[in-house]
Amino acid sequence: MRRWIKRGLLACLATVLVVVAGGFVYVYTLDLDAQPPAEPDSTVADLAFMRDALPPTRGKILAVVTSTSHFPGGEKNAGFELTELARAYYVFRANGYDVDIASPQGGSPPMRRDDEDMVEADHAFLNDADARRKLVASLPVGDVDPARYSAVYFVGGKGTMFDFPNDPAIQRLVRDVYQAGGVIGAVCHGPAALLEVTLDDGMPLLRGRRVAGFSNAEELFLIEDARARFPYLLQDRLVEKGARYVEGPMYLDNTVVDGRVVTGQNPWSTWSTAEAMVRALGHVPVARAPGRDERAVQVLAAYHAGGIDAARKARAERPDADKRLLLMHALVAGMQGRRGDAWRLQGLAHD
């Protein structure tokens, strides 16, 4: 996800620096090199929360990814987001669930990855022979038996907007799992899978339900002509289908639970969406220490909720929060003309 933001940032960086009157000179004193990226050779054994993983005796969860590799016309990449699969995959595994992977077409689905976004769990997934085997031989959704799964989780990615909503096999999967008492989860663009689902009683699954999903503001910030490129904007279509859309701040964790339907707004909602699904299944999630990226999101959430004083307090309690993510939000604020926010947020990165 950050690669989309980064492209816009690179295009507008000079303007941003002028707008904030040189405030980002502090970037050079941030010592970003003191925050090395996650090791590419990370394995499951390096994931602390997986050391307390429960045996896979609670059932199975199906993770569904898109098969659409490009936007119509073929000039822009689509696919699914690795981070939104890998992190949820290990949350489910840690909490006693086996995980299968499916896609509309089956086989090896188109993956989107950004090394700057990746944490240990993402690299561990790529180095996990069993996980990669499941991914490259993903099950065709039409061949899946919904009765085998306690929950289904729809991974985000731009491609979902094209092949999830009108797939009758996905609609059947959601309907059958939900009506059997299972949990439905989705993150970022993943809720596109729920748009056309109607239950056996004729009631649309989304009608009157509180949900999250990638917001119009987030989409249009990244892709100015998103209304032309996509058949719809997800937030708009969720509302059109009768959902009560719950919008959080841009690019911060926002997970919404409505009964047995759990939805997250963006990639930074992946951890909380997966853990909320575990709770909806009736279990307390295995303890997991938040990573640097999550700690940065917590600082930013404190800023949006309580202002700079609350953010500084949160920052002091999280000295290892990801400075790059804090700075990214400062740049986003600058690009949106929110000069005060840009200045204060880059200060948090410097603290």
pLDDT digits (tens, 9 = 90+) for 298-323: 999 999 999 999 999 999 999 999 99
Which pLDDT score is estimated for 25?
Answer: 46
| pTM reported for the whole predicted model | 0.92
Q: What single-letter amino acid sits at 317?
A: E
**pLDDT beneath 50: ranges in the chain:** 9, 11-29
Which pLDDT score is estimated for 114?
Answer: 87
Q: In angstroms, how far is CA 283 from the centroid of its own chain?
A: 22
Residues in contact with 182: Cβ distance below 8 Å, sequence separation at least 6, in sequence order: 149, 150, 151, 152, 260
Dist CA 153 CA 183 (whole Å): 8
CATH classification number, 44-280, choose in 3.30.70.3000, 3.40.50.880, 3.40.718.10, 3.60.20.10: 3.40.50.880
Which pLDDT score is estimated for 23?
Answer: 45
Which pLDDT score is estimated for 38?
Answer: 80
Which pLDDT score is estimated for 73?
Answer: 87
Report which of 161, 146, 143 is spatially closest to residue 68, judged by C-alpha positions: 161
Domain spans of the chain, in order of start: 2-35+290-350, 44-280
